Chains A and B, each alone.
Chain A
């Protein structure tokens, strides 16, 4: 690997990590063959370090808890969006109306989503306002930009989807859940290859937006040296841990009952992510919901480890 590429790749890692391992890591990269597998390994690990282990170096428990709450919520949003679009406008939605258990579980997931949102707002809004006011008055544009990053990511994705929808005459919106499957696409929709390409762009924007949002939250916490009182953090972190666990359990149960009540519809390819079966798409949501719950529990544990206020 040439020196320039090795330097750039090392630069993807968090500053605290680079201060400790940067020089030796770059030396290792320079002696390592340049291949796609190594690049993916280095980039993947850099994302992981930025999301999870920056806190291991110099985050306080309150900062760690706050960062983990943000990751848990973003993961829950991704899992929830996938689950919603897998079921919406498919025969599974019709099946749900005639089976009260499925409907009750769906309602539980909605309750969990509302609770999770409330928990994030309770702790996130006052923190956001304080950090934004301080950063604006001190003209710390780096912090302001990072605070705005999640909003910018959402706006860019929505603008892209709106522009692509307009380009197709308003007949089709590019989402990964409406590409192809065991259904016939309406004639006014664009060709399948176009749908794949445009949906892939949406998918990349969504993934980059979610990861970018998580990284920007992490960097804001670092740069602004955010501090949150135990009193403000404990209850919301527990609510988030409870609500994400509730959603994870309800989504798992929903799939098990769907398999029992409507196996054919559950295994059809009419709502799944990138034309996967509904059940495969459900399994992906389950996995991400469980990851979200585990992260939220870690956030709550971190908040509980804060010393009592006195």
Chain B
């Protein structure tokens, strides 16, 4: 396989940020988050990793559970989570623009 065709190249994996980003357009339960994150970033989080991120984000009060739907609990961003997500994505945006600009200048 050519190095540039490697699907691992460019894959981004920061589980808590991926979970926050997945909840940006509305509440989701675990399975929906895994599918959404896979579509969005190409990274398919394992169930353990996903719930590690969910537990960590809930402890930091960045997400909160909604009433159960059967055995599943959808999660949504808290106002603090929304602010943190916006700040992190803005930083990443500036960072990636600056990096790409440097690459193009070469």
Contact = CB atoms under 8 A, between A and B. Distances in A.
B99 interface: no
B47 A28 contact: yes
Contacts, number: 55
Nearest to B30: A28
Label chain B's interface by main secondary structure: helix
Interface string B36-76: 00000000001111111011000100000000101111000
Contact of B73 (A24, A40, A53): A24
A45 B55 CA distance: 12
B71 A45 contact: no
B55 A21 contact: yes
A21 B55 CA distance: 8
Contacts of B86: none
A29 B46 CA distance: 10
A199 B96 CA distance: 47
Contacts of B70: 27
Label chain A's interface by main secondary structure: helix
A29 B47 contact: yes
A30 to B, nearest CB: 9
A48 B52 contact: yes
Interface residues of B, number: 19
B29 A56 contact: no
Contact of A23 (B48, B49, B54, B71): B71
Q: Of residues A25, A26, A31, which shows the largest number of chain B Cβ atoms within 10 Å of its Cβ?
A: A25
A304 interface: no
Contact of A45 (B30, B31, B51, B73): B51
Nearest to B65: A24
B76 to A, nearest CB: 15
Interface residues of A, number: 25
A279 to B, nearest CB: 27
Contacts of B34: 32
A41 B30 contact: no
A25 B52 contact: no
A23 B68 CA distance: 10
Interface string A45-69: 1101100010010000000000000
A74 interface: no
A44 B68 CA distance: 27
B48 A24 contact: no
14 contacts: A17-B55, A21-B55, A23-B71, A25-B51, A27-B30, A27-B71, A28-B31, A29-B47, A37-B46, A38-B47, A42-B48, A43-B48, A44-B48, A53-B55
Interchain residue pairs A-B with the least CB separation, the first 5: A41-B46, A45-B48, A27-B71, A28-B30, A42-B48
